[in-house]
C-alpha cells in the first residue's frame, strides 16, 4: 500500500504503438475509478517517472501492472524483469505483449534485413548510412543504447505472467470490466481468476458474436474485400470468399469488424483450446473450400493475398513457428555469444 492507503498501479510500454494507452483513456469516466482506488506510481506515457523510482520500491510494492508491448531489445527485457519483480499482479496487456502482434512479423527478417530496410530503404534520407550503435561517447559521458534482439519475444517468453488481456488494443468496455473486477477483489467482494487466465475477453470465437448468417456455402477462391463490387450485408464474409479470421479468433470484441462490413483480422488471438492460431485458421478455411482433394485445397489457399499475414498477423512470435529459420539461427548464435 502507498502512504495514502491506496494500492499502487503501473502501466508500461515496450515494443508497441501506444494504442493500448489510448484504450485505457477510452474507458472515459471509469478512469476516475482508477484514480479513486489506485495510486498511479509509474506510467511513462502519462506522467514523469524514472526507472530509478521503480527500482527503489520494495518488491511487489505495485499491486497491478499493465505491461503492453513485445520484447524487442535489452531495455524492454530489463523493464519486464523489473516490473515483474515489483508487481504482485502482472498483466500482459494487449496483443503485442500476449502474442507479438504486428511487430512480431519482423521475426520473418534478420536484424540486418530490418536495419537495411529502415536505414537504407528508398524512402529513407540517410546519405551517410548511419546505423544504431550500442555505445556512444558523448561530452556528458558514454551513452548506452538498448541492443536490438534477433527476434521479438512475447512477455511470457521472458517473465512469468499472471493474466493475459488480448486485443489490438483491448476494447474499452472490457478494460472497464477488468478494472471493476480488480477493485472488487481488492475490497474482498470478488475473487480473481486462476493465474494464467485470459481476462477481458470471451472463451468462444468471434463467429459466436457475429450476427451474419452462415449457410455452410463453399467457395472456389479467396478475394480481397476491396476488390468485390458488392458484399452481402447479412451473409458470412468467409462464405463470400473474404478471408475472415473469425472462426479462430477469441470472442470479446463484439465482432466489431464483421458488423461494420470488414473481415476479422484476428487481433484478439486464439480462442480457448487452440495451440496454434494459424493452424486452427487453416482448418477453418479448408472447411469452406468446395473441393476436398489436397491439390484443390492448396490451389484455393494459394489465392490468399498474404498467407503469413493472414494466419499469423498477430501471433507469429507466440506460434509454433515463432520466426523464420534463418532468424532462429541468428538468435541461437546471439545467445551463444552473449552467454
For residue 45, pLDDT beyond 70: yes
Q: DSSP secondary structure string, 24-51?
A: HHTTGGGHHHHHHH-EEEE-TTTS---H
Q: Give the pLDDT band (50/70/90) at residue 132.
A: confident
Cell numbers found for residue 319: 506460434
- How much is the average pLDDT of 309-318? 96
Q: Give the pLDDT band (50/70/90) at residue 339.
A: low
For residue 273, pLDDT beyond 90: no
Spatial contact of 150 and 324, defined as CB atoms under 8 Å apart: no
Cell 472447411 maps to which residue?
A: 287
Pairing status of strand 197-198 against strand 163-165? parallel
State residue 287's pLDDT score.
87
Q: Counting beta carbons within 10 angstroms of the beta carbon of residue 309, is it exposed (0 to 12), middle (13 to 18) or buried (19 or more)?
A: middle
Q: pLDDT tens for residues 52-100?
A: 999 999 999 999 999 999 999 999 999 999 999 999 999 999 999 999 9
Who wins on pLDDT, 286 or 87? 87
Backbone φ, ψ for residue 48 (5° rounding): -85, 110
Cell 465482432 maps to which residue?
A: 255
Closest to 9 measured CA to CA, from 52, 51, 50, 54: 54
Cell numbers found for residue 324: 523464420
Cell 464483421 maps to which residue?
A: 258
- Tell me the C-alpha distance between 161 and 147, whole Å: 24
For residue 105, pLDDT beyond 80: yes
Pairing status of strand 71-73 against strand 148-153? antiparallel
For residue 303, pLDDT beyond 90: yes
From the candidate CATH numbers 3.30.1120.130, 3.20.19.10, 3.40.50.700, 2.60.40.10, the one assigned to the domain spanning 8-102+150-198:
3.40.50.700
For residue 251, pLDDT beyond 90: yes
Cell numbers found for residue 275: 495451440
State residue 2's pLDDT score.
54
How many beta carbons lie within 10 A of that of residue 339, not counting itself?
Answer: 5
- Tell me the C-alpha distance between 215 and 91, whole Å: 39
Q: What is the mean pLDDT of the chain?
A: 93
Spatial contact of 71 and 290, defined as CB atoms under 8 Å apart: no
For residue 136, pLDDT beyond 90: no
Who wins on pLDDT, 138 or 82? 82
State residue 336's pLDDT score.
87
Cell numbers found for residue 291: 473441393
Backbone φ, ψ for residue 89 (5° rounding): -120, 120
Specify the 3-state DSSP secondary structure of 99. Answer: helix
Considering the chain, tell me which residue range(s) the CATH 3.40.50.700 domain(s) occupy. Answer: 8-102+150-198
Residues 6+ apart with CB under 8 A from 30: 176, 179, 180
Could you tell me the end-to-end alpha-carbon distance of the chain, in angstroms, rounded to an integer? 38
Pairing status of strand 62-68 against strand 39-42? unpaired
Closest to 65 measured CA to CA, from 44, 83, 85, 45: 83
For residue 1, pLDDT beyond 60: no
Residue 209 host element (H or E): helix 206-209
Amino acid at each position: 500500500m502507498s502512504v495514502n492507503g491506496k494500492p499502487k498501479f503501473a502501466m508500461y510500454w515496450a515494443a508497441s504503438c501506444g494504442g493500448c494507452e489510448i484504450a485505457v483513456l477510452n474507458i472515459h469516466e471509469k478512469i476516475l475509478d482508477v484514480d479513486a482506488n489506485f495510486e498511479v506510481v509509474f506510467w511513462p506515457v502519462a506522467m514523469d517517472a524514472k526507472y530509478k523510482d521503480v527500482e527503489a520500491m520494495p518488491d511487489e510494492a505495485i499491486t497491478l501492472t499493465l505491461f503492453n508491448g513485445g520484447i524487442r531489445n535489452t531495455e524492454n527485457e530489463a523493464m519486464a524483469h523489473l516490473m515483474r519483480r515489483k508487481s504482485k499482479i502482472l498483466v500482459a496487456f494487449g496483443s503485442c505483449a500476449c502474442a507479438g502482434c504486428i511487430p512480431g512479423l519482423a521475426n520473418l527478417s534478420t536484424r540486418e534485413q530490418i536495419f537495411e530496410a529502415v536505414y537504407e530503404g528508398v524512402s529513407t534520407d540517410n546519405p551517410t548510412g548511419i546505423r544504431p550503435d550500442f555505445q556512444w561517447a558523448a561530452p556528458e559521458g558514454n551513452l548506452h543504447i538498448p541492443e536490438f534482439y534477433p527476434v521479438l519475444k512475447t512477455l511470457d517468453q521472458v517473465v512469468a505472467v499472471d493474466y493475459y488481456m488480448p486485443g489490438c488494443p483491448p476494447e474499452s468496455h472490457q478494460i472497464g470490466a477488468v478494472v471493476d473486477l480488480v477493485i472488487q477483489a481488492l475490497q474482498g467482494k470478488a475473487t480473481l481468476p486462476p493465474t494464467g487466465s485470459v481476462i477481458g475477453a470471451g472463451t468462444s470465437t468471434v463467429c459466436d458474436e457475429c450476427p451474419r448468417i452462415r449457410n455452410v456455402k463453399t467457395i472456389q477462391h479467396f478475394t480481397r474485400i476491396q476488390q468485390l463490387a458488392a458484399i452481402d450485408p447479412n451473409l458470412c464474409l468467409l462464405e463470400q470468399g473474404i478471408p475472415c479470421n473469425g472462426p479462430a479468433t477469441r470472442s470479446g470484441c463484439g465482432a466489431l469488424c464483421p458488423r461494420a462490413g470488414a473481415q476479422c483480422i484476428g487481433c484478439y488471438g486464439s480462442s480457448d483450446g487452440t495451440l496454434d492460431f494459424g493452424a486452427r485458421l487453416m482448418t477453418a478455411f479448408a472447411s469452406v473450400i468446395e473441393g476436398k482433394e489436397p491439390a484443390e485445397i492448396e490451389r484455393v489457399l494459394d489465392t490468399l493475398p498474404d498467407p503469413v499475414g493472414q494466419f499469423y498477423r498477430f501471433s507469429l512470435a507466440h506460434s509454433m513457428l515463432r520466426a523464420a529459420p534463418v532468424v532462429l539461427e541468428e538468435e541461437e548464435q546471439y545467445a551463444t555469444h552473449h552467454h
